[in-house]
């Protein structure tokens, strides 16, 4: 069960006696351990089911080593662009760049890329070619099929294709993430 905050560094992971995490969760928001944040719920559900999870919050998407904080996870990477779609977070309806990000410490804008889920997945794939990548959250859920993208004024294909992720969990993921974790853990995933 819960042993305080989830690890956000290799040192915190080792202090818990963990040599390899089951999952590394890459998120576009600050790490907030509160049930109003999807990453907190999913992480705690996994933890309650015996899995270990580490958090990489707002990695520097220009440096591939920023994704390598914990090393390779045993079962896979989880990726979520944030509590809010990254494009809605960045731009107003008139396509003007916002100057504040309510999900970043200090309200600083620019700590996550446009289309964060795709960018984070591609960053992971630069280092970990074969490790399963599972995407979820509002950004992935709304782009799971071909869709009209307001910002580029184009119809885009599924986020699964652009991200290179292996699996997309949409909607409420508390049950499905445990099923996926159990399948990966048993070797049938």
pLDDT digits (tens, 9 = 90+) for 77-128: 999 998 878 887 778 888 888 888 778 788 888 788 989 999 999 999 999 9
Distances (CA, A) of 111 to 6, 11, 81, 100, 103: 21, 23, 11, 10, 10
Confidence label for 47 from pLDDT (cuts 50, 70 and 90): very high
Specify the CATH number for the domain of residue 150.
3.40.50.280
In a domain, 1, yes or no: no
- Which whole number is the average pLDDT over 156-173? 93
In a domain, 78, yes or no: yes
* Total number of domains in the chain: 1
In a domain, 3, yes or no: no
* SS (HEC) of 2-69: CCCCCCCCHHHHHHCCCCCCCEEEEECCCCCCCCCCHHHHHHHHHHHCCCCEEEEECCCCCCHHHHCC
Residue 149's beta-bridge partner residues?
154
In a domain, 2, yes or no: no
In a domain, 189, yes or no: no
In a domain, 37, yes or no: yes
Q: pTM here?
A: 0.92
In sequence order, which residues have a C-beta less than 8 Å from that of residue 150 and are 6 or more positions away? Answer: 87
In a domain, 5, yes or no: no
In a domain, 74, yes or no: yes
Question: Are the C-beta atoms of residues 117 and 161 closer than 8 Å to each other?
Answer: no
Q: Which domain holds residue 85?
A: 10-184
């Amino acid at each position: 069960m819960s042993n305080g905050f989830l690890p956000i560094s290799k040192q915190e992971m080792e202090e818990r006696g963990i040599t390899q995490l089951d999952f590394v969760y890459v998120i576009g928001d600050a790490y907030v351990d509160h049930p109003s944040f999807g990453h907190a719920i999913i992480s705690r559900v996994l933890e309650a089911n015996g899995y270990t999870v580490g958090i990489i919050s707002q990695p520097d998407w220009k440096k591939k080593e920023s994704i390598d904080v914990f090393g390779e996870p045993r079962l896979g990477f989880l990726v979520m662009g944030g509590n809010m779609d990254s494009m809605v977070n960045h731009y107003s309806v008139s396509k003007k760049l916002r100057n504040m990000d309510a999900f970043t410490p200090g309200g600083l804008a620019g700590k996550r890329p446009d289309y964060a889920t795709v960018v984070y997945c591609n960053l992971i794939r630069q280092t970990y070619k074969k490790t399963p990548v599972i995407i979820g959250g509002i950004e992935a859920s709304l782009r799971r099929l071909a869709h009209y993208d307001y910002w580029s004024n184009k119809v885009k294909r599924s986020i699964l294709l652009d991200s290179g992720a292996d699996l997309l969990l949409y909607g409420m993921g508390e049950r499905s993430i445990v099923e996926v974790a159990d399948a990966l853990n048993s070797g049938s995933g």
